[in-house]
Structure 1
Amino acid sequence: MNQTELIRFGTGRQLTEIDYLSELLSYQTSFKSIKSINQLITTVSQVIKDINQGLLPQQLPVLEVTDTMISDVQKFILNKFPTQPAKGNALWGKMSDDLEAIDFLVRHLRDALIEYFSMYGYVSTPFIQDLSTYLAGKPVLELMAGHGYLSAGLRAYNPTQTIIATDNQLWREQPDITLYQPVTTVENMTGLAALEEYGEQVAVIIMSWAPDTSTADWELLQVIRNQYPSKKLLVIGEYLGATNSKVFWQQAKLNPILATHHHTFDLIDEQVYEVE
């Protein structure tokens, strides 16, 4: 696989109606002559399209309408109506409202990924390539795998590597469970049960986007320290933020890694850590 080819993790959702995507693309015609805005819309919409088709998307920049983009719109209007300020002001009023709407949509991409695809942590092709290289083919156990995007990507990128994905799947108790199925095989078991079953068989344990509503992550860290001290633990989440318990962050010894292709694109500063 070359560096520009996206990783196919499965079939995707194949949704035919995605309101978020339709709304975002509705602004493309109005801004077709403004390259920076058009590129922002294209970048974000392509993420949705890729995941829907079963492909892990590209890395994202920080998603927002910047001052430079606003300036590009203003220059466009001045060039269009250089001697007609009333028409220019009217067009600016319309386009500035549209810019606010676009800014809101791109800043809330993660909400759309959660709503339509149950992807909480952003899993891109470049990140999986980096992570797979870092893992160097060692057997991996993923705890709290959720819908399995991380494990699916690793399995697709290196089919010979042992990747065990587990989750207690409490989300199955929520409505519309037929819409929210894992994208790869995820064994239904708690983190503690997964460690007991597979802890001795793997070299690396991964915990991505553990919930901040319980201290299960802290309990798992203590078990790993006491019973599996030779295993490497990787945690993906936001320090003292949207993921993991406060006590976990307070007690964990953190070493940030793999920042090249895994960094924030919105207000959630998720990172990858080696944890002791």
Structure 2
Amino acid sequence: METGAKAEKYLAKLAKYQQEYEKLPAVNKRLRAVKETVTAFQKRQLPREPLPKLELSPNLVFEVLGHHQDILEVESFLNDLRQCVIESFGIWHIFSAAWVADLQEYLNGRSTLQVMAGNGILASQLANINATDNLDWQEQDITRPAPWTKIERLDALRAVQKYYQTVDVIIMEWSPDGLEIDDEILQFLRNSSWPGELLVIGEKNGATNSAQFWRDADLILVEKLNVNHQPFDFIDDQVFSVK
């Protein structure tokens, strides 16, 4: 099935659930938010607001189960959002325009390098940034490169070695789970006494980055970058400044 067809199939099922749950605001709110996310990505845009927590409370499930026997299917469907977005658009890290506005303000025009930029969704929203990726993830989860902006094909460590002397900020977004190149970058920057700021977006000791990186990293949770960046499913990714 073509990746675009997967999104369309997902939206078609969503429309049926919206009709069924029209009079249940707690469920319909989640369905509307998921629809906004998928349709925005179809247009190469970002959803305006962060997703709400998609998991339904046990009390809500118990309350509506008598009238809607498919409520557990709906919850599973909502939690399939991330996989739909990965397979349809090659997007692992889901964020909103509201969060990007926070990030733009935080960066305040500082020259930035993004490594592991994937399809460049984040880089396409930012100014004064070089986006790099080795594109080794293509065909993972049947994805393929379809960049939103120019991506320089570079291994992450090589990209850091090339640009670190000319940038103020390096963004490492959703580094692959288990690959220790993230720690190699951290050690390189420390050994070089780099004065800039390393921003890491990922799930500590979870779905992203290597165990060695999380052991070695001196993490500072960036409060203003985690207001509009909240977990919506089982992955608790956050934004850290790393020393």
TM-score (normalised: structure 1): 0.80
Aligned to 1:265: 232
- The Cα shift of 1:34 comes to 2.4
Q: Decide which moves more: 226-235 or 15-24.
A: 15-24
User: Is 2:142 aligned against 1:198?
Assistant: no
Give yes or no for contact 1:218–1:247 (8 Å, CA) kept in 2.
yes
Q: 1:113-140 CA deviation, whole Å, 9 max, x = no partner?
A: 1111111111211111101100010000
The 2-side partners of 1:48 and 1:65 are apart by 20
Q: 1:70-114 CA deviation, whole Å, 9 max, x = no partner?
A: 47647xxxxxxxxxxxxxx6xx2xx12x21111001122111111
Aligned pairs for 1:83-232 (under 5 A) are: 92=67, 95-96=68-69, 98-154=70-126, 161-172=127-138, 179-232=144-197
The 2-side partners of 1:55 and 1:173 are apart by 23
The 1-side partners of 2:179 and 2:141 are apart by 22
Give yes or no for contact 2:115–2:173 (8 Å, CA) kept in 1.
yes
Q: 1:18-44 CA deviation, whole Å, 9 max, x = no partner?
A: 222222222222222223222221111
The count of aligned residue pairs is 238
The 1-side partners of 2:186 and 2:28 are apart by 45
- The Cα shift of 1:69 comes to 4.1
- In terms of Rg, which structure is larger? 1
Q: Decide which moves more: 38-47 or 214-223.
A: 38-47
Aligned residue type for 1:210: S
- The Cα shift of 1:215 comes to 0.6
The 2-side partners of 1:49 and 1:243 are apart by 26
Give yes or no for contact 1:56–1:153 (8 Å, CA) kept in 2.
no
Aligned to 1:8: none
Gaps of 5+ in 1: 1-13, 75-88, 155-160
Q: 1:245-273 CA deviation, whole Å, 9 max, x = no partner?
A: 00000000000011101111111100000
Give yes or no for contact 2:176–2:209 (8 Å, CA) kept in 1.
yes
User: Is 2:10 aligned against 1:20?
Assistant: yes
Q: Partner of 2:150: helix, strand, or coil?
A: coil
Q: CA RMSD in A?
A: 2.2
Give yes or no for contact 1:149–1:184 (8 Å, CA) kept in 2.
yes
Aligned to 2:32: 42
Identity %: 36
The 1-side partners of 2:62 and 2:140 are apart by 45
The 1-side partners of 2:75 and 2:96 are apart by 22
Give yes or no for contact 1:205–1:232 (8 Å, CA) kept in 2.
yes
The 1-side partners of 2:232 and 2:141 are apart by 29
Give yes or no for contact 2:164–2:194 (8 Å, CA) kept in 1.
no
Aligned to 1:234: 199
User: Is 2:34 aligned against 1:32?
Assistant: no
The 2-side partners of 1:61 and 1:130 are apart by 18
Aligned residue type for 2:153: N
The 1-side partners of 2:193 and 2:128 are apart by 18
- The Cα shift of 1:175 comes to 9.0
Aligned to 1:3: none
Aligned pair in 2 of structure 1 residues 65, 173: CA closer, same or farther (>3 Å)?
closer
Give yes or no for contact 2:171–2:199 (8 Å, CA) kept in 1.
yes
The 2-side partners of 1:32 and 1:173 are apart by 38
